Amino acid sequence: MAREGKIVFCTSRELKFEALGGSLAWQGSRGDLFRRITYEHVPAAIERSYFWQTIDLAKYASGEGQVGWYKNFLLKVDENQLLERLKGYMGLPDFDRQNIENLGRFRELCKYLDTDDHIRDAFHLWTAEVNNLDYFLTVDKKFINKMTQSTPLSLPTPPITPADLVEKLGIGILDALPLSDQKFRNLLETED
């Protein structure tokens, strides 16, 4: 459906940085689920480069860098004081300013979480919410259960697995999984 333009997959800079740090769960032994899919870029709920400027790209892009920023800045900063300090700064987009005003939402999402990975997921979920996306696609069932079964939160953008999304969309016949580039090369070599 995504290849036909019937649904749109989105990503953000924060998700791309996360992908730099390790393998992606959907690129497993059975193939790359999202091969040749074009993603639409959406802005992160708050673009951290406005607040954390460093020349150490490895630290900036690392999971530790992401989680540290979420935990040590977003979960602790007084948003009213921050907004007051940013009043004269014209470089911060209105989108980010608005999300700083609603930083309580991110804190509300994190209140029920106990792992760093889930805090990262909460930021991505918040990003999906502020961009008015229909679903937040994840393969982390523990995160989904925390958000949907263990909390009293209303979720305008529910987290959902790819399999559940397929079911919700009423897709009966699935495309075969495309092989990863390496598996495709190995297949060609064995056929020679």
Q: What is the pLDDT of residue 28?
A: 46
Segment 116-140 mean pLDDT: 95
Confidence at residue 51, expressed as pLDDT on a 0 to 100 scale: 83
pLDDT of residue 123: 96
Q: At what angle do helices 116-130 and 103-110 cross, to 10 degrees?
A: 140
**pLDDT, tens digit, 9 for 90 and up, residues 49-90:** 888 776 677 787 788 888 989 999 999 999 999 888 888 777
Strands in the chain per DSSP E:
9-11, 27-28, 31-32, 39-41, 136-137, 159-160
What's residue 29's pLDDT?
45
51 vs 46: CA distance, rounded Å? 9
At 127, the pLDDT band (50, 70, 90 cuts) reads: very high
This prediction has a pTM of 0.82
For the chain, how far is it from start to end, CA to CA, in angstroms? Answer: 34
Residue 189, pLDDT score: 64
Summarize pLDDT for 85-105 with one digit per residue, the tens.
888 777 889 999 999 999 999
Which residue in this structure is represented by tokens 């689920």? 33
Residue 25's pLDDT is what? Answer: 45
Q: What is the mean pLDDT of residues 122-132?
A: 97
- What is the C-alpha separation between 146 and 17, in angstroms, rounded? 24
| Domain residue ranges in the chain | 9-191
